[in-house]
């Protein structure tokens, strides 16, 4: 059996937020190496219940099997003039070849959103398309994947010899711009693009992510590929039903002074249906993006707020041109 380019790391030693044990130290070293060398790794021992992941995927597939009229009840204003949301919600496949549903923190209420008036923190009326039971499952998945993401971020803080608890300065749950997304690739009749580098047909364009980490569940269809930064060669991310895929984003690259670079990835064109469930772990909208956060004894609370950092990053994605 050939060794995968993408390492698999058991992170069970980190789940209790104790980063000083011998096993935790070994795990942290593996995470650091994966982030520096590749920018991608798979995690096992992550604590998420596999049945919960399956149930979440079932809910997503059920949603995408609804009629266009039903799905667009959750669309932003661009695709449904009756709605006020501009960022969260459903976008159709004619945008970039795949359908998607972007869900923010489910604890954001209509009242909180309207008072805050932030362009990215929107209350989505999920009850228009989902049962109360399904919403409860989605809420539980968001909670668990968010907590897992924070453990990984605390690991990075520990690797920089700082107190992991400072993560609360960057992430406040009700203010986070984190997104749970469902990507549904229908039977694509033609590729989204043909790679200029190697002529390969793609179902999702070559890109890097915006946030700190992305934690992804991909179904067994696979298709996700990662680019080696030095050789520019592409490698498959193998399907592992017990694993979640983690990759670094632009925000982490910025905060680590480019030590942990965001990595190019893409999805191959696949004529059969495919579902992926990425969670984009994004800081609070008002977190000041300053490199001192991870690299100095004292954090200088100045600089561009994360909301503006994200705004610049999203301009390259056609689905966010709203």
Q: How far apart are CA 290 and CA 293, in angstroms?
A: 6
Q: Give yes or no for residue 1 having a pLDDT over 50.
A: no
Q: DSSP class of residue 73?
A: G
Mean pLDDT within 288-294: 95
How do residues 244-272 score in pLDDT, each as one tens digit?
Answer: 999 999 999 999 999 999 999 888 877 77
What integer pLDDT is reported at residue 61 of this predicted model? 95
**Closest by alpha carbon to 100, among 166, 30, 183, 218?**
183
Q: DSSP class of residue 235?
A: E
Q: How far apart are CA 254 and CA 237, in angstroms?
A: 25
Q: Is residue 322 within 8 Å of 76, Cβ to Cβ?
A: yes
What integer pLDDT is reported at residue 321 of this predicted model? 64
DSSP string, 79-126: T-TT---SSSEEE-TTTTSSEEEEE--TT--HHHHHHH--SS-----G
Query: How does residue 314 score in pLDDT terms, banded at 50, 70 and 90?
Result: confident
Q: Give yes or no for residue 6 having a pLDDT over 90.
A: yes
Q: How far apart are CA 260 and CA 250, in angstroms?
A: 9
Mean pLDDT within 296-310: 91
How do residues 8-35 score in pLDDT, each as one tens digit?
Answer: 999 999 998 889 999 999 999 999 999 9
Q: Which domains can be identified in the chain, with CATH numbers?
A: 8-320 (2.60.120.330)
E-only strand ranges, 25-155: 40-44, 89-91, 99-103
């Amino acid at each position: 059996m050939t060794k995968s380019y993408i390492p698999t790391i058991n992170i069970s030693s980190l789940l209790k937020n104790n980063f000083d044990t011998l096993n935790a130290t070994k795990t942290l070293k593996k995470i650091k190496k994966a982030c520096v060398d590749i920018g991608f790794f798979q995690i096992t021992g992550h604590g998420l219940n596999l049945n919960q992941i399956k149930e979440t995927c079932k809910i997503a597939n059920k949603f995408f099997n609804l009629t266009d009229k039903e799905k667009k009840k959750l669309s932003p204003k661009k695709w449904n003039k009756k709605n006020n949301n501009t960022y969260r919600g459903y976008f159709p496949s004619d945008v970039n070849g795949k359908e998607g549903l972007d869900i923010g923190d489910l604890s954001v209420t209509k009242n909180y959103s309207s008072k805050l008036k932030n362009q990215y923190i929107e209350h989505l009326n999920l009850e228009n398309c989902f049962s109360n039971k399904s919403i409860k499952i989605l809420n539980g998945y968001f909670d668990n994947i968010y907590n897992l993401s924070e453990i990984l971020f605390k690991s990075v803080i520990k690797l920089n010899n700082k107190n992991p608890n400072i993560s609360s300065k960057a992430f406040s749950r009700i203010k986070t711009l984190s997104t749970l997304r469902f990507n549904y690739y229908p039977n694509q009749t033609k590729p989204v693009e043909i790679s200029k580098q190697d002529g390969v047909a793609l179902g999702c364009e070559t890109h890097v992510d915006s946030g700190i980490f992305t934690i992804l569940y991909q179904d067994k269809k696979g298709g996700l590929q990662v680019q080696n930064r030095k050789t520019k060669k592409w490698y498959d991310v193998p399907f592992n039903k017990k694993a979640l895929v983690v990759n670094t984003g632009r925000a982490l690259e910025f905060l680590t002074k480019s030590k942990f670079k965001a990595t190019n990835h893409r999805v191959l064109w696949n004529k059969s249906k495919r579902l992926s469930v990425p969670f984009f772990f994004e800081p609070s909208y008002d977190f000041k993006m300053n490199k001192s956060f991870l690299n100095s004894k004292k954090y200088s609370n100045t600089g561009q707020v994360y909301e503006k950092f994200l705004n610049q990053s999203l301009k390259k994605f056609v689905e966010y041109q709203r």
